[in-house]
Structure 1
Amino acid sequence: MNSSITRFLSRHKYKLNGLVLILPFYFLYQSLYPVFPPVWEKHKVGSFEIAPMPYNLDPPYLHDGHYTKDFFIIFSQGSVEDIRQAYLNIGTHALSLAELQQHDEGILHGSQHGQEVHGIAPKTLTTEHKVWVTIEDWQGGVWVTNWELPKALITD
C-alpha cells in the first residue's frame, strides 16, 4: 500500500471507526421516521371510500419486466373483506379485468388498515395519464375511479 495512504489511515483510524459506528443510527432514524408524499383526495367507488398515497415521487421502476409505481390505498369507508379483487393501473384508460387478471402486477394486497399495490405504469408519466382503481365485489359488481396525476409525478 502507498505510504501516504497508510499514514492517513493510521492518523484517522479512530475517526473512521467512529463514523462507521454512527452511520447505522442515521439510517435507523430514517427508517423509523419515513417521509411520504401527501394522501390524495378521497373518492367514492361503490360502497367504498378510498384515497391513494404514492410511497415516493420517483418515476416508475422496472419490476419483473414491467414498470410499476408503488401506492398505499387507504379505505375510510367499506370493508376490504367485501372485495373479491382490486387493481391499480396508471394510463390513459382503466384496463379491463380480463387484462388485469393475466398477470400478478397491479393487484391490491394488505389488511383492513390499508392496501398496498405495485401499480402497473408506463415507463414515463405524462399529463394524459391518470391513476385508475378497479374494484370487483363478491356479487360481481365492478367499479372504476381515477385520479389526476400531480405535477410532481409527471416525468414527461
Structure 2
Amino acid sequence: MNAVKRFIQHNKYWLNALLLVLPAWFYYQSLHPEFPAPLAEQTLGEYSITPMPFDDKPPYIHDNLYVKDFLLLFNKGDVESVRQGYLNIGPNAMPLAQLMEHELGILHGTKHGQHVHALAKKTLSKDDKVWLTIETWQGEVIVMNWPLPEYLIKESA
C-alpha cells in the first residue's frame, strides 16, 4: 500500500495533467465524428431519401427490442407531408399496423434529418434489407428498400 501512495505522490502532477487533457480529446472527437458511408439515394413518388447508419456495429437492445440507429436525409420531398414513417430491417417490410404497436422504429427529427431506431433482429443476414414505410397525410403508403451493407451482415456459423 505504501508503494501506491508513493507512486501517486511522485506522479500527481502528471495524473492531473492527464485529467486536464482527456476532456479536450473527447470534445475534439465529438466534434469530428466518423460515420459509415450512406446507402444509395432512392426516389419514390415525391421523396428522394438517403439513409445513413450511425455506426458499423450490430443492432443493440433498446426497450427490449433490437434496433439499429439511422439518419434519413430527405433530399427531395417535403418532410411535413409525412404523417408517419417507420424503418425496419428484415426480409420484408413490417405491416404498418404492426409498426404502430411500438414506440421504436418511428422517424423523428427536423427537415434537415430524420433520426430513427430501426427495428431489427439480433443477427442480420444477407437476405435482410432496410425497409422504409411512409404514410402521407392523404393516406398514401410508400414502401422503399435498400440492400443491407456488407459490414452489417453477420452470418451465423
**Cα distance between partner residues in 2 of 1:45 and 1:72:** 18
State the partner residue of 2:34: 35
Give me the TM-score of the superposition, normalised by structure 2.
0.97
Asked if 1:152 corresponds to 2:135, the answer is no
1:79 aligns with 2:91: no
| Secondary structure in structure 2 of the residue aligned to 1:28 | helix
Residue 105 of structure 1 corresponds to 104
List structure 1 runs of 4+ shifted beyond 2 angstroms. Answer: none
Work out whether 1:136 is the aligned partner of 2:141: no
* Aligned counterpart, 1:17: 16
How many matched pairs? Answer: 155
Of all paired residues, the percent bearing the same amino acid is 51
Q: Which runs of 5+ in 2 are unaligned?
A: none
| Matched AA of 1:151 | E
1:54 corresponds to which residue? 53
1:81-118 per-position Cα deviation (integer Å, ceiling 9, x unaligned): 11011100000000011101111110001111110100
RMSD: 0.7
Give distance in 1, aligned partners of 2:69 and 2:80: 22
SS in 2 for 1:104: coil
> For residues 26 and 97 of structure 2, what CA distance do their matches in structure 1 show?
43
2:26 corresponds to which letter in structure 1? Answer: F
Which residues of structure 1 form unaligned runs of 5+? none
- Deviation of 1:46 (Å): 2.1
Inter-partner Cα distance in structure 2 for 1:64 and 1:22 = 36
TM superposition shift of 1:40: 1.2
Cα distance in 2 for partners of 1:144, 1:28 equals 39
Rounded Cα–Cα distance in structure 2 between residues aligned with 1:98 and 1:24: 46
Q: Alpha-carbon deviation of 1:45?
A: 2.2
1:39 and 1:90 map into 2 onto residues whose CA distance is 16
Asked if 1:45 corresponds to 2:44, the answer is yes
* TM-score calculated relative to the size of structure 1: 0.97
Match of 1:42, as an amino acid?
E
- DSSP-derived class of the 2:51 partner: strand
